[in-house]
Chains A and B, each alone.
Chain A
């Protein structure tokens, strides 16, 4: 509802504000000026400007930039569409579409489509997952799917991300994290991880940018789980975070000691495990702040990531809520460099250009 997805590309951000219904869902491209460039007196350069937009059929469930100009959008109708942003005349056009990439039993029925819940790209490959438990592997500019795994999961797949170039991670609504090896022809996951205790649905997943064995997932109960996929089938740590569904989790792409999560409860948390916490000034003067004491092994920081906490020693993880007056759900967020973008159900997008000021 409201603003359901944001995705950041170096120059501009795409926002979709669709929800249900045929009515008026759009993909919009906004310009936020040069990232990292501050004005004369340190103020940001003004509001984001709408460059162009285009109608979208169905709700936008997920989207991602394929390259500088193309965006892949997952729809609640089950379609997956690539839109191209034409820089010269600032327009958007639908470039390619896979109709009913996700569908329930009868594909041809008018209501046969199933929502496509997640999309991940690694140019030119696109992987999508949906409420039909299906995994599709597409290639941009190729009409048919390269590979489809029907009934990959008996429940809804909520999110997908790349683990390695040929392996993907999926999370589903019965609390399982699965690794799929796309090179293999069999339609079984190569590994299944699950939460202990109640099988709380998992809604989002992200992999550490540098250390590929570290994976973070967010659940319906707002819990953040950190997994080490080299060992065991259960999460390494469970962190009680939000009071409602965690919709997205993202490691900062260039600064992976920082993690961001957003939730239905209207908050956006910044998790900071960088060691020299005392040297860093509090970079955000707004929002509530809670400092939780977590244990970290400070010595071999380069080898053992701060995320896999083990013995109780000195360091603490700092967690900050970036939203002072929370009301409606924060549905989506994205980060690039010092810039954080997030969208809420109040049909608003917020841009914070000085994340580490």
Chain B
């Protein structure tokens, strides 16, 4: 079987003996068309990727993030420097809140789903979204905000607190019990607070222990004091790093003294807490179950051993944390690899790993775009020319185009891909199925706004042809006018004229009578309009005006030669009127037209003409001659009353 280069199959195909598989790359993620089997059975399977866009609850994600994306592109160079960074951080937060909102909806859907398969699908989606938010949050801290030593730790603490929620139930249980300090999980909860740096909450619980257990009052007081005095980096500029480090060093020594003095020796829980405060790795590692992840371990370690960690130092701690935590028991999962790449500040690695791990381009496309706006991606040219940001956006948007309504979002994404966006858009937009006129109008509007004239013409032609086939001549004309397609307008006029010749009357008079300036779009259309006007004038008995118009149609060559016979035949009743309508000059003109017409025919044609034709010509000649006679006499005499 053939496989497009680099494509990873996301589908399992049933193979039988004679089976052919062909993979076409469409929209970047590929569609496989495969035929199965023995000569008797014939099945063609169309396997499609990008299933995610069809998940109902994710549509909110796509729609809302589209709004944020557009806002970001439009906000371009409004601000500079610090306010620009604040703006970018806000954008990042907006993206994250959309992910969270989607998670909520998905969670609701999972809870209310009765079908177990659906329930499991939704639950999986919830965890995927949760992972996405986790990664994004970390990227926001490290790359978008680019937190410096000091605030970096605080941000990481927030991050951990937000995302490690496996312990929330336990915390709730203990806090809501009657006598928390007697609860068997009491110390676990205290540990959780300490590990997450939630000192105030830990102290609050300690005070409960102190009041419940008089023997430990002294120890609690000391521990409480240590916790209270623990120096933390500040967000504002109230202290420099050096100051903080100094304070921290003192505090660390104080803790050390208390430990060595055996102050907490009688209470193993408090002793272990003290060790944790001192950053004792083994003591922290003992609480593995409460931390659940290596990155929690990492942050706790940093909090208690190196709170002024610099961004570039993270990588060392991260690697060692993961090794210590996993301890060779389990191997890193994709999520761990991604987070590690982030801690190592390997942006491209992060994006690459995410692309592989996730099933759609949404995440990487938007994150990369944001990072690009932070000017963090060098124009890293991929071997086929466009840069990474554009590549990902193109892939994402192409995926959207296969969806029956999300394609509109895709248009805006293409707009913001300077190199290939337009070409992609041109190709995709022509392939959108146009099953209602309203949709065609939307597509047309998009094309017109971008001066995509080829596509406008093509779409209008398709719609006009469809209308014509359904006998909707007015609609067909309306489309030709939109495209300023003279050739098609001519086609439609010919249809009308043909109908007239066959039926002897005009169909769709409401259209022909009201052509207005659009009549000028094509000569044939003009003729049609004028010809109808002739009929109207005749109907209103305005004979001399009708006559003049009729003649003008021929002499000004507005009428096609094929129609002259019909026009001349139309002149017959005017010639036969009681009063003379055509003047001598006009009659001469008519005669000339007739002669031109008959002279134009070859001898052969004249032989082929049936009797009706010849008779018509004869009648015309006679009528013209008679009219001429009458008019000469009339014009020659003095006018009567």
Query: Which A residues contact B (CB, under 8 angstroms)?
Result: 1-2, 19-21, 23-24, 59, 61, 76, 104-105, 114-115, 117, 131-133, 153-156, 172-176, 178, 189, 192, 194-199, 201, 220, 244-245, 264, 325, 327-329, 345-348
Contact = CB atoms under 8 A, between A and B. Distances in A.
B66 interface: yes
Contacts of B437: 115, 117, 131, 156, 173
B408 A21 contact: no
Interface stretch (B128-136, B189-197, B219-227, B512-520): B512-520
B498 interface: no
A104 B436 CA distance: 13
The 4 closest A-B pairs by CB, nearest first: A155-B474, A154-B474, A154-B508, A21-B404
A154 B408 contact: no
A132 B404 CA distance: 24
B481 interface: yes
Contacts of B511: 154-155, 174
* Residue among B475, B511, B517 having the largest count of chain A Cβ atoms under 10 Å: B475
Nearest to B433: A20
Interface residues of B, number: 41
B405 A173 contact: no
A325 B441 CA distance: 23
Contacts of B477: 155, 174
A156 B475 contact: yes
B93 interface: no
Contact of A199 (B59, B475, B481): B481
A131 B475 CA distance: 9
Overall SS of chain B's interface: helix
A105 B436 contact: no
B516 A61 contact: no
Nearest to B449: A244
B178 interface: no
Contact of A329 (B409, B442, B507): B442
Given A174-B477, A347-B63, A328 B408 contact: yes
A198 B473 CA distance: 18
Interface in B441-492: 441-442, 445, 470-475, 477-478, 481
A155 B63 contact: no
Interface of B: 54, 56, 59-60, 63, 66-67, 70-71, 404-405, 408-409, 412, 433, 435-439, 441-442, 445, 470-475, 477-478, 481, 507-508, 510-511, 514-518
Contacts of B70: 327
Nearest to A198: B517
Contacts of A132: 470, 472
Contacts of A114: 470
Given A19-B405, A155-B472, A174-B474, 16 more contacts: A1-B405, A23-B404, A59-B436, A61-B438, A115-B438, A133-B474, A154-B507, A154-B510, A174-B514, A178-B510, A197-B516, A199-B478, A220-B441, A245-B445, A346-B67, A348-B63
Contacts of B409: 328, 346
Contact of A20 (B54, B59, B435, B481): B435
Contact of B474 (A105, A115, A153, A220): A153
B514 A131 contact: no
Contact of A76 (B412, B436, B470): B436
A133 B436 contact: no
A24 B56 contact: yes
A189 B511 CA distance: 13
Contacts of B515: 199
18 contacts: A19-B404, A76-B436, A114-B470, A115-B435, A133-B472, A133-B474, A153-B510, A156-B474, A156-B475, A173-B437, A174-B477, A174-B514, A194-B516, A196-B516, A201-B478, A220-B441, A264-B441, A325-B67
A264 B404 contact: no
A156 B478 contact: yes
Nearest to B405: A19
A175 B508 CA distance: 15
Nearest to A103: B470
A327 B412 contact: yes
Contacts of B517: 197-199
Nearest to A24: B56
A104 B468 CA distance: 11
Given A192-B514, A197-B516, A347-B59, A104 B433 contact: no
Nearest to B434: A20
Contacts of A154: 472-475, 507-508, 510-511
B436 A131 contact: yes
Contacts of B60: 347
Nearest to B411: A328
A327 B442 CA distance: 14
A35 to B, nearest CB: 26
A174 B70 CA distance: 35
A157 to B, nearest CB: 10
A131 B408 CA distance: 23
A172 B404 contact: no
* Residue among B405, B437, B508, B518 having the largest count of chain A Cβ atoms under 10 Å: B405
Contacts of B475: 131, 133, 154-156, 173
A194 B511 CA distance: 11
Contacts of A19: 404-405, 439
A245 B510 contact: no
B39 to A, nearest CB: 30
A32 B429 CA distance: 37
* Residue among A24, A173, A189, A264 having the largest count of chain B Cβ atoms under 10 Å: A173
Contacts of B408: 1-2, 328, 345
